[in-house]
Amino acid sequence: MVRIATIVFAGVLTVFVVTRSIPQELIDRIAARVENDIILLSQVRALERYQQLVDGKSESDSQILDRLIDQWIVRNEADTAQFPRPLDADIDRGVERVEKSFTSPEEYEERRKQTGLSAADERGLVAAQMYLSNYLDSRFRPSAQVSPKDIDDFYQKAVVPRARARGQAPPSLEAAHDYIQEALVQRSINDQADRWLTESRARVRVEKFLHEGAK
């Protein structure tokens, strides 16, 4: 019979499995408490491996923990609003986008193996990220305001210089219009979400257990 023993020591809650036939085995640690929920060190490690897969590098443990706390805030509100989960077909496309960001399927598989991220783990993380980003998009897109002047300024200050720096002829404003508008809408969504999260963090009870300066 397996008994779960929960032990708090030096401010860090550590979970052990205790059996009659084998010694105590470390399972996980609590990295933070957010209200009545917990964030486990294994969740920090999972997001770290995902960052290594898609970016080739990862943030520090403390930065990743802050991201997970922000994700908790978004997910808590999305769940309360009963926001729909992404469809399997959408998740498939999300995983496919990650794979296509590599030069070849072989490079993608090699990187994934190096990170220690299983295909199931990757799919779960893609689904979670998609759920949160879809909710933020639905919440803040309606209030994203983009004027014709904003589009023209972006075209003159970003699109044209970037094309010329690459030795290319810049696209016409008409051809780039939809791309620019969506880029500016996304910027507005991100800015609104950042302000909302800053305000929300002040209202949420958080207790962190990771050591400062931890990777």
Residue-wise over 117-132: b if at least 16 C-beta within 10 A, else e? beeebbbebbbbbbbb
Domain boundaries, the chain: 44-149
Distance CA 172, CA 168 (A): 12
Q: What are the pLDDT digits (tens) for 126-180?
A: 999 999 999 999 999 999 999 999 999 999 999 999 999 999 999 999 999 999 9
Q: What are the pLDDT digits (tens) for 23-74?
A: 444 568 999 999 999 999 999 999 999 999 999 999 999 999 999 999 999 9
Distance of CA 90 to the CA centre of its chain: 17
Distance CA 207, CA 146 (A): 39
Contact assessment for residue 44 and residue 30, using Cβ atoms and an 8 Å cutoff: no
| Residues sharing a CB contact under 8 Å with residue 9, sequence separation 6 or more, in sequence order | none
pTM of the model: 0.80
Question: What three-state secondary structure class fits 21?
Answer: coil
Contact assessment for residue 15 and residue 188, using Cβ atoms and an 8 Å cutoff: no
